[in-house]
Amino acid sequence: MPRSDGIESFDTHAGEAELGDLRARLAAARLPEPETVCGAPPGRGRWAQGVPLADLVDLVDYWRTEYDWRLFEDRLRRIGQFRTIVDGLGIHFLHRRSARPDATPLILTHGWPGSVAEFVDVVAALTDPVDDGAPAFHVVIPSLPGFGFSDKPSAPGWGTERIAAAWVELMGRLGYPRFLAHGGDWGGNITTVLAGRFPDHVLGIHTTFAEGPPGLTTEGLTPVERAWAAETADFWANRAGYAKQQATRPQTIGYSLVDSPVGLLAWILDKFAEWSDTEDSPFETISRDRVLDDVTLYWLTRSGASAARIYAESHAALDPALRVDVPAAITIYPRDIEKYPRPWSEQRYRRIVRWWSPEHGGHFPSLEVPDLYVQDLREGLAAVLAAHGDRVA
């Protein structure tokens, strides 16, 4: 039912015909021959040419015969789903208010190839912690434009700057004129823009993506920081073909992602494998169901092409002059794909109140190391609030 603030409750229930079509397409999939590194011992070398055939066959079979999308629908329903029109576009979001009177509003923003599915396992711990001494949050998790159950933009212009402005409008509409923000990947980029452009609304941020301005020197960096800079440069030089494809030809790759569930699965699974803190398979730390929740959401909403367009809108577009003056907590997970030295990050983030690099975790910490991730968010945002000197009810 619509509310006076233009927010409507939302529910999703995929039709049996849609799920049957998915299973039929999986059963009829045409697959290539095995990769020519087949037979390699367990380890990342097996993935040198992309997703190994044997791994994909196993996961496709599980997706077709055992995976239950209804369980994910139920999880979304229990958290609370809504939609509203912001700047002319329908935005889907999860919203769970804490029972704690001292809770602070917090917006969590996902990236690609993620979705709201990244955060479903941590909402309860953030909104209603068992420990009364832990901070509590009113949690808002929007689906990016073109992702999931948000609308697909029909014209260019929905880049990270516009998305950040839409998030401010969304939070105000929910009664949160001032709030905390967190994100990684595109979510980290948007969180940075939120803090830099809207400091009167953003109390502070926590991010796993802290890109400094371009052109900074490696002189004076520690050996670890130099290694981080080299790893990040190597990623963009040699392992970022997906980003260049989606930044330049999202429509072309989009046909495959919307028409073939196996193609969509392989395109996304490749990133879960390469970007997670594992030695052989992403399923060492992330369950098959969580990966398939994410992929099935892309499939059922036909958002492979529309989600890819965020690269065409905003790839390498973070304003070099943008500065963040609100308190910031920054965490660098060891197997993430972009790791920026603190001296570089300090050129953009002017009030870093907590800097941490744990021993474990990759690009998807909320799925890989959820307990550590929740602890990190709590401690980082507590430091942000302490530095800011106030709380928002």
pLDDT digits (tens, 9 = 90+) for 235-253: 999 999 999 999 999 999 9
Cα first-last separation, the chain: 26
Q: What pLDDT digit, counting tens, does each position of 162-173 carry?
A: 999 999 999 999
Does residue 268 belong to any structural domain of this protein? yes
Q: What is the pLDDT of residues 287-331, one digit of tens each?
A: 999 999 999 999 999 999 999 999 999 999 999 999 999 999 999
In a domain, 359, yes or no: yes
Q: Per-residue pLDDT for 135 more than 50? A: yes
Q: Quick check: is 42 in a domain?
A: yes
The confidence score (pLDDT) of residue 15 equals 97
Kindly state whether residue 169 falls inside one of the protein's structural domains. yes
What's phi and psi for 324, nearest 5 deg? Answer: -115, 115
Name the average pLDDT for the chain.
Answer: 96
Portion of the chain with pLDDT greater than 70, in percent? 97
Instruction: Confirm whether 2 is domain-assigned.
Output: no
Confidence of residue 2 (pLDDT cuts 50, 70, 90): very low
155: domain CATH number is 3.40.50.1820
Q: What is the pLDDT of residue 117?
A: 98
Residue 97: is its pLDDT beyond 50?
A: yes
Number of compact structural domains in the chain: 1
pTM (2 d.p.): 0.96
In a domain, 1, yes or no: no
What confidence tens digit (pLDDT) does each residue in 105-134 have?
999 999 999 999 999 999 999 999 999 999
In a domain, 182, yes or no: yes
Q: Note down the domain range covering 339.
A: 7-388
- The pLDDT assigned to 192 comes to 98
Residue 116: inside a domain, yes or no? Answer: yes
The neighbouring-strand residues paired with 181 are 107, 205
Task: Give the CB-side neighbour count of residue 225, counting CA atoms within 13 A.
Answer: 13
- 194 in Cβ contact with 121 (< 8 Å): no
